[in-house]
Structure 1
Amino acid sequence: MNAILSFPANINLYVFHGGSDFCFMNSATYQSSFPTYRSDVSSYDYDAPLTEAGDYTDKYTALVALVTQYSPVKFLTPQLPEESVKEAYPSAEIVGQITLDKLLNTLSSESSTNVKAMELLDINDNSGQSFGFIVYRKTGLEVSSGSVLKIDGQVRDLAIVLVDGVRKTDVFTSMDQQKGFGYFDAESDAQLTLDDDSVGESRTLDILVENWGHRDDTKGIISGSVLLNSVSIQDWELFPLELKGDWVRSLDGWITPSEAQSPAMYRATVDVSSPHDTFLDMSSWGKGNVFVNGFNVGRYFPAAGPAKTLYIPAPLLNAGTNELDTTSAKIALNCDMCWITLPPVVSRYLLSGLEKVEVRPCGCLILVFELFTPASQLVFRETPILG
């Protein structure tokens, strides 16, 4: 930058203020080398002069000095606003669980002869599904010993297989798994051999596909067919699992958490005496999404990294430990996927589209949709883990 400004020439900065990809708003990039599809993480801190939480960095101080040095007009630098207070709240125990099968019972489904992309579903005023997950379900399926499942089309971006509600896809532990069955970069001969527990005359096959972020493409099983022992499976039920804020906030029927055999939603209530910015440490979890009072704060995938924390701005938290009151006032954000219940008086405007309103205090409810391995609690930090 010093060489450019001394030339003299102008500069543009990308990014000056780090951000967060809330509400499934992340994008992705395509590369020529493996993995060819690389999804942006929820933290868009970007090593910017101002962090995701708006804090100053050494880079910011150096940048101010450099711009001041070369500016033809000497200007008065205003006093810097104070950084937001950060707090590591006490860990919150997971106290509730809803299995994937129970979640699907709350949704409407669409019948289809063949599998198809989520964008082709007849929902949202015929505009299809843009975000979240889609479940392809086949009931009454006969599964013989040693049966082999294969997708002869394209998966965008991760497919998890369940038989009678039990996950058959291995837990993600290595990047090389993305060459295997059910991943974006799956090799042409990738297949899944179903175990003996899957054998039966009337089984229910679910294929849960996650959209990792758009890049001028469609999502789900976007082409081809699903084959069982080389025979195409037809007559599916398609469930759009969009995880919209209103739907997330309305969930009930929670049970005591048990050993995870399928993706599930998990519930914890956080004790917040005073709302401050915080970071949720998901290092001990597998892969999924986190919702704070119905607001989607982003995705976590610690095994793939690099980010292992999710930034939670103070306005998303409510003082108190009461249960979430679904009748409290709501205000829409610019992203139509999300709703947020605001604290009694909001004085900071970290999220676009917020207005100052007053609502009754209610508890801080955090829900986690976990695909693989849940932890027993949620842990908070004052600082992020970004790499």
Structure 2
Amino acid sequence: MLKDLSLQSFFMGCLTAFVGFASSFAVVLQGLKGVGATDYEAASGVMALSVSMGVCAIVLSAWTKLPVSTAWSTPGAALLATAGAVDGGFPAAVGAFLVCAVMIVFAGLFRPLGRAVASIPAPLANAMLSGVILGLCFAPFKAIAFDPLLGLPILVAWAAVLMVKRLFAVPAALAAFVAVMVFGVELPEGAMAEWSQSLAPPVEFVAPLFTLPALISIALPLFIVTMASQNIPGIAVLKVNHYEPNPGPLFATTGVFSLLSAPFGGHAVNLAAITAAMCAGEDAHPDPARRYWAAIIGGIGYVVLGLLAGAVTAFVSLAPPILIQAVAGLALIGAFSGSAVAAFREPEAREAAAVTFLITASGVSFAGISGAFWGLVAGGLMMGLQRVMARRAR
């Protein structure tokens, strides 16, 4: 294996880890807090996820000799950010994370379940995802209304770099956030001393609690968006780059690592899509057989960044919440536009997609179950009704 390592793959792996972590850790942090995690529990969740997905990438890439890049579920984190705390608090959410992980394992080992997820109409899955993301995408503009001197530099940095290099737009927004924190936010006395004490890796075991509302509101939608928005596109990216992975074992392995991270607050580990393209493309190495080292180096980078999650989270907690929400929202604008376009692309499915999107985006809940689930159900019923009426009209 060592003879396949190259400087090109090494640098691409380092870039993959930085972009993957910096571009979406704000979304993950916000998502875990959204379902009731304390700052320390959220830091533990970020640490557990980052270490788990790093080790998962190392194991899968070394085992298959394919550039299998892994990530945390960013769409899943966005779902959590809007789901709200359920009865039972964060322990109930952790119980839902465990159930979701088991479902991912089954989807890999039990082919009919994997096929069932893949058969969910793409317009509905994308409409649910865009509805989930919408609320956070408002945050950058709400941050400007909150304080233009704090919110505007973050948005301007993102937009300016976006025009030059899209890949670095969100890291640039994150750098602007750090600058705003250092020069624009008055930190409490002794805050930096407390921050220096948070360099130790945060580890917080959360005893899971299993409740039906949490399983329906969190576990099921989290499973669907993780499979439909991350795992299945992750396989597609590898195939586009002329690799032929066996999806089942890859899905099952990510589910196992999700199981390992869940008791420490992690919501889901899955195959990457965007960073997978970085590791699987020609920029990682001209020889496709040697690109797997980019994913391995990226995995090592995730482990290192995960061990620093306590310091990162402690620093972020000193800021007004709307600022980190602004960074998270900017990180999701691309995902929102892509999912919205895909949701409304097919004319015959637009009404069903609109129903799914509007119910999900409204944030309403019935019987303690979040709007993401009801949106998918209502959209499915609408699509089924339209198909019945179309058959009768023939």
Instruction: Report the TM-score, using the length of structure 1 for normalisation.
Output: 0.21
Structure number with greater Rg is: 1
**Between structures 1 and 2, the one with greater strand share:** 1
Query: Which structure's relative contact order is higher, taking Cα pairs within 8 Å and 6+ residues apart?
Result: 2
**Between structures 1 and 2, the one with greater helix share:** 2
Instruction: Report the TM-score, using the length of structure 2 for normalisation.
Output: 0.21
